[in-house]
Structure 1
Amino acid sequence: MHATTTLTRYDADLDGPVLGMPGVTALVEVLAERGVQFEDVLAGTGITPPMLRDARARLSHRQKMALFTNVQRLSPEPAIGLVAGQRQRISDFGVYGYGVVTSATFGEAVDFGMRHVRLAGPVFEKRFRVEGGTALFEGTPMFELGPLLPLLTEFWFSSIYTLMGKVLERPFEARALLLPYPAPAHAARYAEVLGCEVRFGAPVMQWQFDAALLALPLPNANPMMAGVCAEFCARMLESVEAEPEVVRAIKEACLASPSALPGVHEMAARLHLSPRTLHRRLEDAGTSYQAIADGIRQRLAAELLEQTDVGMDEIAERVGFSDVSNFRKAFRKWTGRTPAETRAALRGRKD
């Protein structure tokens, strides 16, 4: 069998605030446990300690490269990328992570992950395909990484291995990992952490596993909720390439945690802008911060109303309202109808 290749490309803008923080937090925490101070790891990056505890904070590729440069220079642990990757959690990835873990099969989880991986803050351009009985993940750096390539590669593969294990609720069994750089001094740690043969000095970056795993049913499958997550992610990002960078950054930050959207001053700080500059840029783009936030909440609420039987209290909480009556008022203001009326109308349209 030869499956169609899935290729995920990204804009390699080095200064746009488009990357998430989960991996950054894991790296800094592992270093702190080994006696390295937060201030030293973050020096010169523009990343502040409060951002490390905020899953919605964003940073640029340039900031991420500066951080990894510090990590590589300061770490007393040569396999820091492998160790930090083992700290990853599904909950760190918001709607994206929930969509992966609730997929019906492992193959659907891989497909969802590839289609929406932009939300996870990628550094590598990713490709997935099936050839015969072998499934292949491949990666290509989006820009020149130089001496940081091994560290970033270790962190990426260790993170994915950890997340796959959580999705499957069993160790992920790969056949081989091919890497395009010489074996480092700690090469033996790769096989220990990733559980497969590792071949250094290869012409490609490629992870091979048995394609039969793609048919495995997932223990936390909820196809209805996975569908809601997929539709929501796709609709929110379908025109992202045509949008101004500031709008895209806000949408991706909010999408990571729609139940706890930051205020405009907090969002401005995350984007390294003054509130006045943020307002001006959004005005130039023909929108406002409140309009973007309300649009995200409204779309997610509508998806949940139409596609699930989740109660109003839970929907209100998921879209950021502590009180269901305030949610009803806001939803009526957005749409002119109550949530209950909308649910009935949407379901009637499908019948």
Structure 2
Amino acid sequence: MPTSLPPTAVMPPQGASAVTPIAFVQAILLAYQRRGMNPAGALAQAQIAPAALLDASSRITAWQMERISDVAMQELDDEALGWFSRRLPWGSYGMLARASLSAPTLGVALKRWCRHHALIADDIILTLGVAGDTASVSITEQHGLGALREFCLVSVLRNILGVACWLIDSRIPLLGAQLPFAAPLHREVYAVLFSGPTLFDSAPAAIRFDARYLALPLRRDERALQQMLQRALPLTVLPYRRDRLLVQRVRQALAAHPAQTHGAEALATMLHVSPRTLHRQLKEEGASLQSLKDEVRRARALELLLRTRRPIKQVAEAAGFQNEKSFMRAFKGWTGQSPAQFRQNQQGLGTENP
């Protein structure tokens, strides 16, 4: 996505970590070379030392990547930075965002984005697909992308993911990503570029995520779009933090294995977030891991008491309690009754099974 910042001196943030591979900068320089233009000004504004270009292991910060991309897009008048057979003039991706803005849900917005992208660039085709509970955005290469292939495919996927997150004001954790080229020397960077596992030598280029995000309504308007376009590149460089479906995803994970204790670390690993992020985002949504555990345990216990004749001890174990005593104490707090009293009072309300 483009920005409208003028190419003037901007101070970088202090203490930022350098993660982005220098190979992506080399790809931008190749676009300059093909146009017969000098990239020295862009490199200077991004504070990228010439020596870094000679070391394949060099890394730059997110700010530096944002800066050189911003300046290059303006100087080349190409928001695709040389990826395609024709330039994408300044404002092309902003036009796609505006066309998607009136969609009722993220799914409709992404369908529009994919369809309209083909109108501005026919070198690739973007496709939104759904298989079961998994959604995907894939890229079909219509023409060879040459030396810019990696940078193009990664950028296009990161771009649409960033826009999708912005449209619904939520992080969309990826279930995985796949790319049709061999693992590069900087393969470890892909753990940052795409959450979830990344497969190489796997065509087509694609990202996968929970299909429930497609049903979320958009939370942006024209005013928000104008503000975002003032500095849009961070959407493709930095990960979105808030996850509007996190509570639902945690609840589902807990319910899938109710007998497990579900420590924060194991659950966070399952959901592809850090334990700290898990607790922070649940708090932002007005929930906590303990409250969700109690909710799932309560629902499981009530179901077993109403619909089976299992002994109380077995119900406690199946609901995830370590012993019958702690279960009885928790259950009385939920209902004001012991499990046995509750079952007796509710006789006949459910179908009893062995």
- TM class by shorter chain equals 0.3 to 0.5
TM-score, normalised by the number of residues in structure 2: 0.39
Larger radius of gyration: 2
Higher helix share: 1
Identify the structure with bigger relative contact order (alpha carbons < 8 Å, sequence gap 6+). Answer: 1
TM-score, normalised by the number of residues in structure 1: 0.40
